[in-house]
Amino acid sequence: MRIALYECAHANNKFMEKIKKMEASEQKKDRARPMEITVKAVVISEDGQTLILKRVKDSDTNPDKWDIPGGLLEAGETIEKALKREIKEETGLEVEIGPVIRVSEFPKETKQFKKEKRSLRFIAYCQGNTEVKLSDEHSEFLWLEIDEAVKKLNEKDGFENDKGNTLLDAKKYLELKNSLEGWKRCMADFENYKKRQAEDRKDMIAFSNLNLISEILPILDNFHASTDHIPEDQKDGGWVVGIMHIQHQLEKVLEENGVSEILVNVGDEFAPNIMEAVKQESGDSEQETSENKVKKVLMKGYKINSKVIRVARVVVE
């Protein structure tokens, strides 16, 4: 009996909790009311000026006052589509919509607040043509610097003062955006600077040994001159193997310091940036020539990374 009474009381408590939740939900529904949203934009031209419009004198609301483009959302419209349409209707301009910069609310004591009117303010960018074609809602327009536009508005008038504050919010946003873009450019420049510094350090290390390398190259030339003329029947001799081993050691030392041979072969096209053209006529005499094909390589050329430290000396045809 006691168990049955306990289960009955527990079920009753759960039922009452459910009733309370339903009542709370209904109260929330009663408090929820549809809200009227207007969307307006600070339109910025490519040269940084902003557009203000003057309402006609017989306007139903705020006649003969300065305003910024925008209006009400129509049924089924997205915010962006509504704002683009309003700007097009009022000015004839095509714009790209930027971010929200301000949420504007009427004071609680006004009828607009009681009617649940709210306004979202955006940045909008006008690219190219800035020729304004006014609708019959406005009588005048001005393209001005933001500070100049703010001066045109009456700060003692609630309607115009609100638009002035919106313009100042737009100015702050643009200043922050420009600062951020400047910071990004600075960071990109710094990254490029670090890369250049790394390359410069690499070159500095490579070329710090240039004097020593320049002294080693003639020694290596002598080794090549000797080993290139060893008779075939002596190439496997012990002394030859020893000399070749020393030659390879020198070549490895140069390679480890970033030095590489400039490859030039007989028959190659003459390239003045990596070759010095000479022609042997008799004995040791040499004279410059301007022919185009390599006939013989007299002395190898070398480079560190991509920089030539000694051109190859060649005979050309």
Give one DSSP letter per residue of 115-183, joined into a string: TTEEEEEEEEE--S-------TTEEEEEEE-HHHHHHHS-TTSHHHHHHHHHHHHHHHHHHHHHHHHHH
Residues 6+ away with beta carbon under 8 Å from 242: none
Residues 6+ away with beta carbon under 8 Å from 162: 104
Q: Could you tell me the pLDDT band of residue 289, with boundaries at 50, 70 and 90?
A: very low
**What's the whole-number mean pLDDT along residues 81-104?**
94
CATH number of the domain at 260-317, please? Answer: 2.30.22.10
Q: What is the pLDDT of residues 155-166, one digit of tens each?
A: 888 888 889 999
Q: What is the pLDDT of residue 41?
A: 96
Q: Could you tell me the pLDDT band of residue 99, with boundaries at 50, 70 and 90?
A: very high
- Residue 142 gets the label, from left (phi > 0), alpha (psi -120 to 50) or beta, of beta
Q: What is the pLDDT of residue 168?
A: 95
Boundaries of CATH 3.90.79.10 in the chain? 36-181
pTM of the model: 0.55
Place of tokens 């480890």: 256
3-state class (DSSP) for residue 4: helix
Beta strands per DSSP E along 193-306:
259-262, 275-280, 286-288, 294-299, 301-304
Q: What is the pLDDT of residue 281?
A: 43
Alpha carbon distance 29, 10 (integer Å)? 29
Q: What is the pLDDT of residues 124-157, one digit of tens each?
A: 999 888 999 999 999 999 999 999 999 999 888 8
Please give the DSSP secondary-structure letter assigned to residue 236.
T
- What proportion of the chain, given as a percentage, has pLDDT over 70? 82
Q: What is the pLDDT of residue 164?
A: 93
CATH number 3.40.50.300 given to 36-181: no
Q: Which residues pair with 290 in a beta bridge?
A: none
Boundaries of CATH 2.30.22.10 in the chain? 260-317
Q: What is the pLDDT of residue 89?
A: 95
> Cβ distance 175 to 87 under 8 Å?
no
Average pLDDT score over the chain:
83
The residue among 68, 171, 157 whose CA lies nearest residue 121 is 68
Q: Could you tell me the pLDDT band of residue 223, with boundaries at 50, 70 and 90?
A: confident
The residue among 242, 218, 219 whose CA lies nearest residue 230 is 242
On the 0-12 / 13-18 / 19+ scale of CB atoms within 10 A, 203 is middle
Q: What is the pLDDT of residues 164-175, one digit of tens each?
A: 999 999 999 999
